[in-house]
Structure 1
Amino acid sequence: MKRILHIVGGMDRAGAETMLMNLYRKLDKSEYQFDFVYFKNSKCDYDDEIMKLGGRIFRISNSNPISRTIKLSRLIKKEKPFHAVHAHMLFSNAFHVLAAFFAKIKMRVSHSHNTSDVNSKTSFGRLYQNASKKIISKFSTHFIACGEAAGEFLFPYNDKVEYLLNAIDVEEFSNNRIANRNFLKDEFNLDDDTIVITQIGRISPVKNHEFTINFAAYLAQKGHKFVIAIVGSGPLKNKLLELVDEKNINNYVKFLGVRSDIPNILAGTDVMIMPSFHEGFPVVLVESQAAGVPSLISNNISSEVDMGLKLVDFAALDDDFSIWEIKLMDILKQKEVSSVQRLEILSNKGFNIKKSVKKLENIYG
């Protein structure tokens, strides 16, 4: 059995982590096994499932990148044999592939899940990014990206990038819409004519939840009958709760926390909103299209996410809320796409998890 060590920081329910779990569940465990390195001591959402599947979790709590690299290298040497080290932490991958190199690991995989980074705004940040890209290029043996834009962002010096799309269990999502169409309306005890909008993702600055709250206040002022369900948790949750109170829209915004029933939540959603400042290739946008849920998203997100099902519409963050309102109302008038069509198109485009697992196994060799 070949053990692969994934450097992830922590395995909470977020985009890259969910993608990784989708792969892990379908992996041939007689041939491959995943282990994980965290840079946090607290328990994560997927811990119990990882251990149930046979994976190990190692924790390194030191925040200094040099000390962390040394400790990681020592851990890799101590816990041998690892067939590969697979790093998922953007520019920090430079430290992790260096640690694997010093530990004499022959396969060192760097994986890009994003198309932008907040550090790009400072001169020091840009210097750090450029240095990291060169280290990643020199010391990684394999390069994987969730899409072309993510590959170009992290691997400008490499032309041999493997694209591993953020695949899902397409059948699970595509066949769920009819059975659970009123899932959220039943949970919130809503009338049939209430519009259910969801935002799914970690409550962190990049996801721009504050935009969503302000948009909700605008829709309430305009007299729309709706609820926005915010699914996820994170460091900005208390700030958002205060903003909801300040705007006096508690009846319109529901905080659901971290949920494991995303297929049912999407089935009960009329429109998904994603006003992110930047994203790589969000897994939840693959899931929403598989579920037949139309989405209104920021045009800062790569157009690659549109599967051609006419289920994704873009708007600019600096557009007036009236533009977002018009687009939202137009989306609600769209004809639903059949589950057969969704399944066929997503599978043909490579978003079926079974195909991705085979591709990853071939990369590992």
Structure 2
Amino acid sequence: MMQQSKKRVLHYVSVWGNGGVEKIITNIIQKSGDNYQHDLFVARHYVNDNIYEMLLKKHHVKIYINTEKSIFKGLKNVASQQLYDLVHIHTAHRVENAKAILAKLAFPKAKVLLYCHTVSLSDGTFKLKIRECLDFLGVGYVSRFFTDKSLAVSQLVLEDAFFKQDIRTAKASVFYAGIDMQGYQFDEHARKSTRQTLGVEEDELLLGHIGRVAMSKNPEYLLDIIIPFLKQEPKAKFLYIGKGDMQESIDKRILESDVSDRILRIEQVENAKHYLMAMDIFVLPSLSEGLPLVALEAQTTGLPCVLSDTISKDTQATDLVSFVALSDPLDAWYIHFKKTKNNRSHYYEQMSASAFNDSIAMRKLSQLYDDLLNATS
């Protein structure tokens, strides 16, 4: 019997580094089945020596790094080398939905799938808000006719990124990419070993945060919460894992604080699951989030999470999640810092049976790929 040739999927991203979107894409590459050859187009910036490079090589992913000023020209260069059956565009916010137009023009025979990963974050200026509105209503509206299917990581993102008409007709819908559950079963030995490495005593409260040190994660406010709490709780420490464009100013503020000796800073880790197990409370006061994977991973380890109410309620997969308004007094956060869990192991089973299990999610995505590619235009 003649072997069926693989369908070719081109993933479009603006930036490729070490973030949550990259984690989702590499998961798709690994787990969407053997019927697809996945490649990658990076429109603006590729971070060398990123943590996913070896995995991309293992799965023979061809990486196209755009060197043209025009993204469309970059896509046309790719089209001159290789045709694709499906262009899977990963956007950071709704304004980027216009990339569907460029993809369809560069690959007219390909299906175009949009996947929006977060809500739009404005700097609050009137001029920018007007521009975003015009972009959304103008180019954003036109892009609908160049898109075969639109997905969002959560209900909050769906309503922010896509038009109500497309949501009503299910042309746009929520898709949970899920997380790889393997290794997230709470392990008391891993907890003790990691805390020992960090210099955290058994009777100390360890608050923690993992995320980019960038505006969307609200790092200044994170320290506004943490520093006063550490001052009033001498048996508490804070583990801050992440790097980003605000790192220099944040690290300077930490060093100048009275509690710098109890704020543990690590730029990057590969075994984040062990650090989540070592924590007692996970803190995420983001300004803008689609569906923070790290909060799902934290719940899988049985770790209580205190999140800002700007984060999608879809994140609340278990009773471990509490939401606090960014306008609330700091004490509103501190109340939840006392709610630690002794029995953490049973949350793994709960999360494994949920829609956030990537084994379930990837079967759904493979079926969606098949449906799109088999549909007549």
TM-score, with length taken from structure 1: 0.90
Equivalent-residue separation in structure 2 for 1:105 and 1:297 (angstroms): 43
The answer (yes or no) to whether the contact 1:94–1:135 under 8 Å persists in 2 is no
The answer (yes or no) to whether the contact 1:166–1:281 under 8 Å persists in 2 is no
Amino acid of the residue matched to residue 8 of structure 1? V
Are 2:365 and 1:360 equivalent residues in the alignment?
Answer: yes
The answer (yes or no) to whether the contact 1:76–1:100 under 8 Å persists in 2 is no
Within-5 A mapping of 1:235-314: 235-307=245-317, 309-314=318-323
Amino acid of the residue matched to residue 143 of structure 1? S
Give ranges in structure 1 of 5+ residues lacking alignment: none
Deviations 1:72-126 (A, max 9, x none): 2x13422322111111123354342112211214310111111332267521222
Are 2:177 and 1:148 equivalent residues in the alignment?
Answer: no
The answer (yes or no) to whether the contact 2:9–2:39 under 8 Å persists in 1 is yes
Are 2:216 and 1:214 equivalent residues in the alignment?
Answer: no
Q: 1:322 corresponds to which residue? A: 331
The answer (yes or no) to whether the contact 1:91–1:132 under 8 Å persists in 2 is no
Please state how far the C-alpha of 1:192 moved relative to its aligned partner: 0.9
Equivalent-residue separation in structure 1 for 2:218 and 2:105 (angstroms): 39
Please state how far the C-alpha of 1:273 moved relative to its aligned partner: 0.3
Matched position secondary structure for 1:172: coil
The answer (yes or no) to whether the contact 1:273–1:297 under 8 Å persists in 2 is yes
Deviations 1:259-297 (A, max 9, x none): 111111111111110000121111111111111111111
In structure 2, the CA distance between the partners of 1:51 and 1:124, relative to structure 1 (3 Å rule), is same
The answer (yes or no) to whether the contact 2:186–2:302 under 8 Å persists in 1 is no
Please state how far the C-alpha of 1:22 moved relative to its aligned partner: 2.3
Are 2:54 and 1:54 equivalent residues in the alignment?
Answer: no
Deviations 1:125-180 (A, max 9, x none): 2212332421331211111111222112111141222432131122421x243331
The answer (yes or no) to whether the contact 1:197–1:228 under 8 Å persists in 2 is yes
Match of 1:68 among 66, 71, 81: 71
Q: 2:104 corresponds to which residue? A: 101
Please state how far the C-alpha of 1:234 moved relative to its aligned partner: 0.6
Q: 2:3 corresponds to which residue? A: none
Amino acid of the residue matched to residue 12 of structure 2? I
Q: 1:23 corresponds to which residue? A: 28
Equivalent-residue separation in structure 1 for 2:278 and 2:202 (angstroms): 11
Please state how far the C-alpha of 1:201 moved relative to its aligned partner: 1.1
Equivalent-residue separation in structure 1 for 2:329 and 2:214 (angstroms): 23
The answer (yes or no) to whether the contact 2:302–2:320 under 8 Å persists in 1 is yes
Please state how far the C-alpha of 1:322 moved relative to its aligned partner: 2.0
Equivalent-residue separation in structure 1 for 2:151 and 2:214 (angstroms): 25
Equivalent-residue separation in structure 1 for 2:149 and 2:241 (angstroms): 34
Q: 1:81 corresponds to which residue? A: 83
Q: 1:158 corresponds to which residue? A: 166
Match of 1:127 among 111, 134, 137: 134
The worse-fitting range, judged by mean Cα deviation, of 77-86 and 110-119 is: 110-119
Q: 2:7 corresponds to which residue? A: 2
The answer (yes or no) to whether the contact 1:145–1:164 under 8 Å persists in 2 is yes
Are 2:207 and 1:202 equivalent residues in the alignment?
Answer: no
Match of 1:113 among 111, 117, 132: 117
Matched position secondary structure for 2:297: helix
Matched position secondary structure for 1:217: helix
The answer (yes or no) to whether the contact 1:183–1:265 under 8 Å persists in 2 is no
Q: 1:350 corresponds to which residue? A: 355
Equivalent-residue separation in structure 2 for 1:134 and 1:291 (angstroms): 41
In structure 2, the CA distance between the partners of 1:291 and 1:204, relative to structure 1 (3 Å rule), is same
Please state how far the C-alpha of 1:335 moved relative to its aligned partner: 4.8
Aligned-CA RMSD value: 2.0
Equivalent-residue separation in structure 2 for 1:193 and 1:303 (angstroms): 32
Give ranges in structure 2 of 5+ residues lacking alignment: 1-5, 371-377
Please state how far the C-alpha of 1:245 moved relative to its aligned partner: 2.0
Equivalent-residue separation in structure 2 for 1:304 and 1:209 (angstroms): 23
Amino acid of the residue matched to residue 282 of structure 2? M
The answer (yes or no) to whether the contact 2:231–2:259 under 8 Å persists in 1 is no
Equivalent-residue separation in structure 1 for 2:197 and 2:26 (angstroms): 27
Please state how far the C-alpha of 1:243 moved relative to its aligned partner: 0.8
The answer (yes or no) to whether the contact 2:94–2:119 under 8 Å persists in 1 is no
Amino acid of the residue matched to residue 260 of structure 1? E
The answer (yes or no) to whether the contact 1:9–1:40 under 8 Å persists in 2 is yes
Matched position secondary structure for 1:55: coil
The worse-fitting range, judged by mean Cα deviation, of 114-123 and 238-247 is: 114-123
The worse-fitting range, judged by mean Cα deviation, of 38-47 and 352-361 is: 38-47
The answer (yes or no) to whether the contact 1:37–1:60 under 8 Å persists in 2 is yes
Matched position secondary structure for 1:179: helix
Please state how far the C-alpha of 1:358 moved relative to its aligned partner: 1.0
The worse-fitting range, judged by mean Cα deviation, of 230-239 and 217-226 is: 217-226
In structure 2, the CA distance between the partners of 1:291 and 1:91, relative to structure 1 (3 Å rule), is same
Amino acid of the residue matched to residue 59 of structure 2? L
The answer (yes or no) to whether the contact 1:230–1:254 under 8 Å persists in 2 is yes
The answer (yes or no) to whether the contact 1:198–1:229 under 8 Å persists in 2 is yes
In structure 2, the CA distance between the partners of 1:205 and 1:183, relative to structure 1 (3 Å rule), is farther
Equivalent-residue separation in structure 1 for 2:231 and 2:218 (angstroms): 21
Q: 2:373 corresponds to which residue? A: none
The answer (yes or no) to whether the contact 2:302–2:344 under 8 Å persists in 1 is yes
In structure 2, the CA distance between the partners of 1:347 and 1:82, relative to structure 1 (3 Å rule), is same
